Amino acid sequence: MNQLDFTVCPNCGGERRVANEVMEELKASGKARPGINAFLFNHTTIISDQSKRTLSMPVVQTFYDACVDCGTVYVVHVEHGTATPQMPGLSGPMSAN
């Protein structure tokens, strides 16, 4: 599994999502490029064995949006890969590979 996509709301079966609807309006007006996806928020989970030191760690990124029809917040996309921790003192989150 490199990625999973969930295209319908698990509560009502609706296919319209809040952030995606806004992005489609921006694309239609030329304010966003085609092919870009939108989500309300995402969460990155680091999967690591604390007893081992590594330069890269497996991560799972989970992307959420809300159903336009019923308001249920649900997972719409999941992907996994590896990330390299940033050096102390440098700004920014971990960089996903």
- Is the model more confident about 76 or about 52? 76
Q: Looking at the predicted structure, is the pLDDT value of residue 96 above 60?
A: no
79 inside domain: yes
Give the chain's domain count.
Answer: 1
In the three-class reduction of DSSP (H, G, I as helix; E, B as strand; rest coil), residue 22 is classed as helix
Closest CA to 27 of 35, 15, 19: 35
Q: Looking at the predicted structure, is the pLDDT value of residue 39 above 50?
A: yes
pTM for the structure as a whole: 0.75
Distance of CA 63 to the CA centre of its chain: 3
46 inside domain: yes
Q: What is the band of 64 on the pLDDT scale with cuts at 50, 70, 90?
A: very high
Count the helices and strands in the chain (H runs, E runs). Answer: 1, 5
Q: Rounded to an integer, what distance in angstroms lies between the CA atom of residue 50 and that of residue 91?
A: 23
Containing 19, the helix (H) or strand (E) segment is helix 18-28
91 inside domain: no
Q: Rounded to an integer, what distance in angstroms lies between the CA atom of residue 18 and that of residue 15?
A: 10
93 inside domain: no
Q: Looking at the predicted structure, is the pLDDT value of residue 13 above 60?
A: yes
Structural domain that includes position 54? 3-84
